[in-house]
Structure 1
Amino acid sequence: GLAEDYPQRQIRIIVPFPAGAGPDQVARLIGQHLQDAFGEPVVVENRAGALGSLGAQQVAHASPDGYTLLMGTNTTHASNVATLKDLPYDPVKDFSPIIRTTTTAMVLLVKPEFPAKDLAQFLDYAKTHRNLTAGYGSGASQLSLAQLQSRGGVGLVAASYRGVPQAMTDVMAGVLDLTFGDFSVAIPQMQGGTLRGLGVTSPDRNELLPNLPALAEAMPGFETTIWYGLLAPANTPEQVVKKLYQETEKILAAPDTRQRLAKVGVIVATLPPDQFGAFIKNEIVRWTADAKAAGIEPQ
C-alpha cells in the first residue's frame, strides 16, 4: 500500500515562526537529513503569525498523508490554548504527534550594573522594590514573568514586546529592569558581558549553563520548558508516523547533531509518538493553570 512506499514525492515542513528562530533552525537540520535518508526533497516553509497559530492551522487542515508536517512548539501546542481566544485548531484532536525533538529554556536576565548579583540577592532586592519593570516577547517569557510574581512574590510592571530580542535590547539600554531570554539569544549576550543571567527556567540546572541555578531552587515548582516537535495532521497512517519517527530519532541521536544544536541553545530530548502525545496533554493542563494563576486572560 501507499504507506509502505512512503515517501514518493516532496515533503513540506511548515515552521509557524520566522526564519532563523529556534524551531526554524531545528526544522532545517532535520529536513536536510530526511531528504538525504529518503531521497525525496524536503522543503521548510515559514508561515509566521498569530503566535504560530497560522502555520499550525494550515497543517491541521492538510491531507493526512505525511507530505505536510508541522514543527510545533510549546506555543502552538500548549500556551496558545491559555492565551488565545478562538484557537482555529485543536492541538490534540487535529494532529498525529511524531516526535518531540528538543527542549530548551529561558534565562532571567538583568544588565550587569543591576544591584543584585545573584538569585538570592535579586529576590531580596525585589522585596523592597515592588515596581520592577519587565518585558516579555513570547508565551514562554510571559508565563515566566507570571511565575516570578506568583511563585516568587516579585512585584512587576510588565510590558508586551514584539519579540524576546526587543525586550532584551531594552534591558541592555536600562529601559527595563529584567526580562527572560531564550538560551539561543541570551547565551551570546551573557558571554559578551552585556547581560547577566540570574537563573534558568528548566526544572533543574541546565547542561548549557551549568553555573546558573534553576529558578525552582529558590521558587519551588517554577518551570518553563520550551520544546519543539514534529507533528502530522490527525489520522496520518501509523506506518508513515513510525517511519518519520525512526528516521528523525536516528538523526537526533548522532553526536554531531547534538553538538550543532547545543551551539544554538537547544538540547536533544526525544519522545516517541505516544509519549509525545501524552506530554502535550500534560503541557496544556500546566500552561493553562499557570496562566490562570497569573490572571492572564485569553486575547
Structure 2
Amino acid sequence: MKLNRRNFLGWLSAATVFPALSVNPARASAASAYPAQPVRMVVPFPPGSATDIVTRGLAKELQAEFKESFVTENRPGAQTTIGTTYVAQSAPDGYTLLVAALSFVSSPSEFKDLAYDPVADFEPIALLGTFPIVLMVKADSPFNTVEELLAHGKERSKPLMGGYGSSSTRVAANRFGQLGGIPVTEVPYKGIPNAVTDLIGGFIDFTFVDIGNALTHAKSGRLKALGVTSLEASPHAPDWPPLANVIPGFEVTAWLTVLAPANTDAAIIEKLHEAINRCLQSPAMGPTLATAAMTPPTVALPDLKPFINDEVQKWAQRFKEAGIEPQ
C-alpha cells in the first residue's frame, strides 16, 4: 500500500488499530529467545530532548515486558547522523535499535556524503507518535503574538536570529522567514535544549521547540510560546494558535519511530512491533506521552516502510523549496 500524508494523518485522527501480522512458525521460533541480552536504544539527540524523554519511558516499559534491560544511549551530533550511522553499521541482531525523528528522513537532503540510506539500510519497527513544534521567544520578550514578531522582523535593519537543533526545526526556522516575508539568520545547535539555553540567554531571537519541552519551559516562566506548527491547535496547548492562521501554508508535523539495521530477523521486528504498540497503549506509558504531548498511532508494520519512503521524498521537496543545498 502506497501511503500519502493525508492517509497517514487520517490514521492518526481515527486512532485506527490494525490487525497483527500472521507469524511463520519458523520465524517465531527464531525470535522466541529474543531478547537474551541487554538491548541498546540509540537516541541521536542530547538528553532532555523529546526523543530522549519518550525513549527512556519506552525502554522502562519494554524492560518490564521482556524482563531484560533496554538501555537508552545518547549519541548526538552532526544533525543526528552520528548516532544514526552507528546503528546502520551495527549488527542486525535486534540488540541495537534507533529511535529517530524527522532528521532521519531529511538527512539525504542535508548531506552529500551520507553514510547510510534511510530506506535501504533500516527496517522500521514502530511509529511512536506525532506532535507539533512550537515557536518560542524569551519570557520577557515584548512580542506576544506571531504578528508582532513578524512586524519587528520587517522593521529592524538586520535579520532575526533563529536557532534550530534538529532538521524539523531547521526547516521551520527557514520557512518562518521565507513564508513570513522576513530575513532570518539560521543558527545551528547540537540539539534543541542547546538552542533553548541560548534563547534564554538572549543570544538568539527565537527558536522552535518540541511541544513537550515547550510546555515545560512555558510553565516555568522561562520562555513564551507564540504558536504551533500544526494546522490545528494541540489539545495539550489549546491556547497556542497555529502559525498557519497568520502564515498560510506553514505546517511541520514531527514524529518519532523505532528502527533496526537492515536484515534484522523479520520475526524479531514483529515481536518488537507488537510489544512497543502494547507499551504505547499501557497506562504506565501515559505520563511519558503526556510529558511529550505526543499522540501514539497504531500503524500496520507493512505500511511503515512506504511511509518512511514518502517522508524522504516530502522532505526533499521542502528542502528544495527552502533553498537548502546538501553540504
Q: 1:56 to 1:137 in 2, by over 3 A?
A: closer
Name the structure 2 match of 1:175: 203
Aligned partner of residue 268 in structure 1, secondary structure: coil
For residues 29-68 of structure 1, what are the structure 2 equivalents within 5 Å? 29-68=57-96
Equivalent AA in structure 1 for residue 290 of structure 2: A
CA contact (8 A) 2:164 2:186 kept: yes
Query: Which TM-score applies when normalising by structure 2?
Result: 0.82
> For 2:112, which of 85, 106, 109 is the aligned residue?
85
Tell me the alpha carbon deviations over residues 2-28 of structure 1, each in whole angstroms, 9 at most, x when there is no partner: 424241511332222334432222222
Stretches of 4+ moved more than 6 A in 1? Answer: none
Quote the Cα distance in structure 2 between the aligned partners of 1:38 and 1:115: 51
Q: Shift of residue 99 of structure 1?
A: 0.4
CA contact (8 A) 2:122 2:261 kept: yes
Quote the Cα distance in structure 2 between the aligned partners of 1:93 and 1:30: 26
Match status 1:3 vs 2:24:
no
CA contact (8 A) 2:31 2:271 kept: no
Equivalent AA in structure 2 for residue 63 of structure 1: A
Tell me the alpha carbon deviations over residues 91-144 of structure 1, each in whole angstroms, 9 at most, x when there is no partner: 001111110112233211123444432233434444434632322222222111
CA contact (8 A) 1:172 1:194 kept: yes
Equivalent AA in structure 1 for residue 134 of structure 2: V
Percent identity for Structure 1 against Structure 2: 37
Stretches of structure 1 lacking an aligned partner (at least 5 in a row): none
Aligned partner of residue 267 in structure 1, secondary structure: coil
Quote the Cα distance in structure 1 between the aligned partners of 2:95 and 2:263: 13
Q: Shift of residue 201 of structure 1?
A: 1.3
CA contact (8 A) 1:97 1:230 kept: yes
Q: 1:63 to 1:164 in 2, by over 3 A?
A: closer
Query: Which TM-score applies when normalising by structure 1?
Result: 0.89
Q: Shift of residue 252 of structure 1?
A: 0.2
Name the structure 2 match of 1:290: 318
Aligned length: 298
Task: Calculate the aligned-residue CA RMSD, in Å.
Answer: 2.3
Equivalent AA in structure 1 for residue 106 of structure 2: S
For residues 67-82 of structure 1, what are the structure 2 equivalents within 5 Å? 67-75=95-103, 77-82=104-109
Tell me the alpha carbon deviations over residues 189-225 of structure 1, each in whole angstroms, 9 at most, x when there is no partner: 2123332211111232112211111112222332222
Quote the Cα distance in structure 1 between the aligned partners of 2:202 and 2:73: 37
For residues 83-232 of structure 1, what are the structure 2 equivalents within 5 Å? 83-129=110-156, 131-232=159-260
CA contact (8 A) 1:71 1:231 kept: yes
Equivalent AA in structure 1 for residue 197 of structure 2: T
Aligned partner of residue 247 in structure 1, secondary structure: helix
CA contact (8 A) 2:78 2:190 kept: no
